[in-house]
Structure 1
Amino acid sequence: MAEKTNQQVYPLAPSNGNPRSDEESNTLQSKELKRKKRIKLAIYIAAFAVFQTIVILVFALTVMRVRTPKVSLGTDVTFSKLNSTGNETSSPSFNITFIAQVRVKNTNFGPYKYEETTAIFKYRDVKVGQVTIPKGKAGLRSTKKVSVTVDVNLNALQTTSSNLGNDLKKEVLTLNGQAKFTGKVELMFVMKKKKATEMNCRMIINLTSKILKDLICE
């Protein structure tokens, strides 16, 4: 019993021998977390800036790019009158009336408003007819179709009779249709840019069957 009484009692060691060291460690961890957050934020901002740049470039190259509208004649041509007389020896002539579609194709992201113009039809560089095309508008990324009635005629007094006579003998007649359009493309309701375009089509008419054999537009 005496031995137990004389035993020395030692105090327990503190659970944390260096409180300051733990505080410094926590501070370093907090700073590291903040640094990583700043890096992530910078990465997100840079990625967003790159994305915005790509969007702006795509927008500028597609939506805001102004393209020249294309004008052509449609293939659905109908002849209400088709008369031709003569050959290479007699007095050759022709008198034709047909209905055609003038097509204004607008591929822009905004309407194309064009002014009134005149389409001229020629046979071997000789003017044989014309038609007025009223002013109009081709909507964004659409095609405006305008029906026109054209009267063309030619006799031997206006051209070399042998050329016309030979063509009539072959029962094939070639006409060239030309027109120049001027107008403006409107983008985003604020930007307007002038655009001119031309129609240049070659019509090959079969005089026997009275149909359009071929149509080539440049």
Structure 2
Amino acid sequence: MGEQITNQQPVYPLAPESKIPKSDEESNTLLSNELRRKKRIKLAIYIAAFVVFQTIVILIFSLIVMKVKTPKVRLGTIELRKVTTTAGTQASSPSFDISFTTQVRVKNTNFGPYKYDSSNATFLYRGVTVGEIFIPKGKAGMLSTKKVSVIVSVNSNALTSTTSLGNELGTGTLTLNSQAKLSGKVVLMFVMKNKKSAQMNCTISIKLNADNAVDLNCK
């Protein structure tokens, strides 16, 4: 038999799948870890900044908004209505009879209203009460001043000794003092109530020989 000649193509083994070199894999892994690390650092910075900001806000709120200050009560501008004085003679004692208009001003610098009870303001000459006015209960709003207009009448009828009065009238100046105390509460956030008493101490100097000018000094 004759030989059979077969034409067969040579068989080559399949090439292995291409792989990323090991060094490239490690590089990608390191890069991914570095990105995650930077993200965590940024997140930590944002959180820290937020905490600091909140702390500052709370601190400012506590020191400014929630801090309760004592309201102030003062007299406003005095306008004289009647001034009658007698220097004194052998037949009569020194005396004065004066009336004027003014305002009782309650200044509230708190971030909440100040509610106060009714009270009185007294006017004194050398420690002796020579006049008095009634201050009705009221409310001074947040960061505002409550103004109450009043008419004041003072005279020397209650003085038991008028020697010093005669000397003072002779100098052309009559000095009076005014005192008052208001008791009330400052209300914060509609809930917190803090008791506060506002006090007034004013000195009134009436210049009898200078068109009845008035000097007012309140503490």
TM-score after normalising by structure 2: 0.86
d(CA) in 1 for partners of 2:215, 2:89: 24
Sequence identity percentage: 62
Which residue of 105, 119, 122 maps to 2:121? 119
Task: Give the paired residue count.
Answer: 204
Note if contact 1:88-1:165 (Cα within 8 Å) is conserved in structure 2. Answer: no
Any conservation in 1 of the 2:78–2:214 contact (CA below 8 Å)? no
On the 8 A contact 1:88/1:164 being kept in 2, the answer is no
- For each residue in 1:66-118, what CA deviation from the matched residue of structure 2 results, as whole angstroms up to 9, or x when unmatched? 111111111x2122221112337541111111111111111111111111000
Contact 1:122–1:128 (Cα < 8 Å) also in 2: yes
Tell me what 1:52 maps to: 54
Which residue of the partner structure matches residue 107 of structure 1? 109
Which residues of 2 match residues 167-182 of structure 1 at below 5 A? 167-182=168-183
1:51 alignment partner AA: F
Separation of aligned partners in 2, 1:88 and 1:174: 21
Q: Which residue of 1 aligns with 2:198?
A: 197
| Aligned mates of 1:88, 1:142 — CA distance in 2 | 50
Equivalent residue, structure 2, for 1:77: 78
More displaced 10-residue stretch of structure 1: 185-194 or 19-28: 19-28
Aligned partners of 1:116 and 1:134 also within 8 Å = yes
Q: Which runs of 5+ in 1 are unaligned?
A: 1-13
Q: Match of 1:62, SS?
A: helix
Q: Secondary structure at the match of 2:153?
A: strand
Shift of residue 32, structure 1, vs aligned partner? 1.3
Instruction: Provide the residue aligned with 1:32 in structure 2.
Output: 34
The aligned residue for residue 11 of structure 2 is none
- Is 2:93 the counterpart of 1:91? yes
Q: What is the RMSD of the two structures over their aligned residues, measured on CA atoms?
A: 2.1
What is the one-letter code of the residue matched to 1:185? V
Q: Which residue number in structure 1 is paired with residue 187 of structure 2?
A: 186
Name the SS of the counterpart of 2:201 in structure 1: strand
> What one-letter code is carried by the residue in structure 2 that aligns with 1:97?
S
1:158 Cα shift? 2.1
The verdict on how the C-alpha distance between 1:214 and 1:88 changes in structure 2, with shifts beyond 3 A counting, is farther
Alignment partner of 1:145 is 2:147: yes
Shift of 1:159: 3.2
Partner of residue 6, structure 1? none
1:28-84 deviation per Cα after TM superposition (whole angstroms, max 9, x unaligned):
21111111100110111011101110111011111111111111111x212222111
Whether the 8 Å contact between 1:87 and 1:164 is mirrored in structure 2 is no
SS at match of 1:25: helix
Q: TM-score, normalised by structure 1?
A: 0.86
Q: Is the 8 A contact 1:88 1:161 kept in 2?
A: no
How has the CA–CA distance of structure 1 residues 208 and 24 changed in structure 2, closer, same or farther, with 3 Å as cutoff?
same
> Structure 2: 5+ residue runs without aligned partners?
1-15
The structure-2 alpha-carbon separation of the partners of 1:212 and 1:110, relative to structure 1 and needing over 3 Å to count, comes to farther
The letter of the residue matching 1:151 is S
Q: Report the residue type matching 2:57 in the other structure.
A: V
